[in-house]
Amino acid sequence: MAERERRLTRPYGGVFVARSQVMDVDDIHRALRRMSHEILERNHGLDDVVLIGLQTGGVQLAHALASTLEEIEEIDDTEDGVPVGTLDVALYRDDIGIRPVLPEEVTAIPVDLDGRVVVLVDDVLFTGRTIRAALDAVIDFGRPRIVQLAVMVDRGHRELPIRPDFVGKNLPTRRDELVDVTMQGVELGELQKS
């Protein structure tokens, strides 16, 4: 999410120009599969697990992780699957008033989070500020037993003491580069000022 906002927002605004593909569509699926196994291993199954995708980049990944988890655990359509929520952290950001911030999508948390295992899902982990905001937001919805973090790409440059539990790919980057994650792959590139 942090990535997307920086892309849309002045003075960061401009057009994303891809330089190289870092993961292709198969890599994404392999990473999702491995991360799903890691989530199951860490939590000894799916009891109490809730996935929360951060708007907007993490939502598709959260749904993809949920269906992979259900596939591995052989949960069919007749049973309750893994609950998936979505969270827009704009109203919890620490840069409100410093640069333009607007909520994009409605937050939807389908279950009570008290005592649950919450797995936050985002596309790119960068400064950690989005996750800081997400932690504050989640706690307003209840008191989870544990909160874990799954990201497709960890690109470094943390500004807060936050670390991911499940990572698709560790990708060393320069600060001024951009990482674009879709279900089709991951591209590294630059922002071309418009």
Partner 1 sequence: MTARLRNAATPVDTSRHLLSVGDLDRDQIAELLDLTDTFVEVGQRSIPKVPALRGRTVVSLFFEDSTRTRLSFDTAAKRLSADTMSFGVSSSSVNKGESVRDTIETIEAMGIDAVIVRHSSSGVPAQIARWTDAVVVNAGDGWHQHPTQALLDAYTARSHLGDLEGRSIAIVGDVKHSRVARSNIEMFTALGAHVTLVAPPTLLPPDTTAWDVSVSHELDPVLPRIDVCYLLRMQSERMTEALIPTLREYTAGFGLTSERADRLGAEALIMHPGPMNRGVEIASEVAERPNAVITEQVANGVAVRMAVLFLLLGSGRHLTQVHEEAS
Angle at the Cα of 153 from the Cα atoms of 150 and 155, rounded to 5 degrees = 120
Copy the structure tokens of residue 166.
């499940």
According to CB under 8 A, which one of 25, 71, 100, 184 is a site residue for partner 1? 100
If binding is defined by CB under 8 A, does position 96 make contact with partner 1? yes
Other Cβ atoms within 10 Å of 161 Cβ, number: 7
**Binding segment toward partner 1, per CB under 8 A, in 10-18, 29-37, 59-67, 181-189:** 10-18
Beta 146-154 vs 117-125: how paired, if at all?
parallel
Name which of 161, 123, 115, 160 is nearest 141 in CA terms.
115
Residue 69 or residue 118: which is nearer to partner 1 going by CB?
Answer: 118
191 binds partner 1 (CB under 8 A): no
Per CB under 8 A, does 182 bind partner 1?
no
Which of 44, 74, 54 lies closest to 146, judged by CA? 44
Single residue of 25, 45, 71, 140 touching partner 1 by CB under 8 A? 140
Among 141, 144, 167, 168, binds partner 1 (CB under 8 A): 141
**Which long-range contacts (C-beta less than 8 Å, at least 24 apart) are formed by 89-95?**
89/1, 89/54, 89/55, 89/130, 89/133, 89/134, 89/137, 91/137, 92/133, 92/134, 92/136, 92/137, 93/129, 93/130, 93/133, 94/129, 94/132, 94/133, 95/129
Per CB under 8 A, the segment of 27-35, 60-68, 136-144, 176-184 that binds partner 1 is 136-144
From candidates 15, 25, 102, 160, binder to partner 1 by CB under 8 A: 102
Instruction: Determine the residue type at 160.
Output: L
Q: Is 97 in the site for partner 1 (CB under 8 A)?
A: yes
Minimal distance in Å, beta carbon 59 to partner 1? 15
Residue 8 vs 17, nearer CB to partner 1: 8
Our CB check for partner 1 shows the closer of 126 and 141 to be 141
Binding interface with partner 1 (CB under 8 A): 9-11, 13, 88, 90-92, 96-103, 105-108, 136-137, 140-142
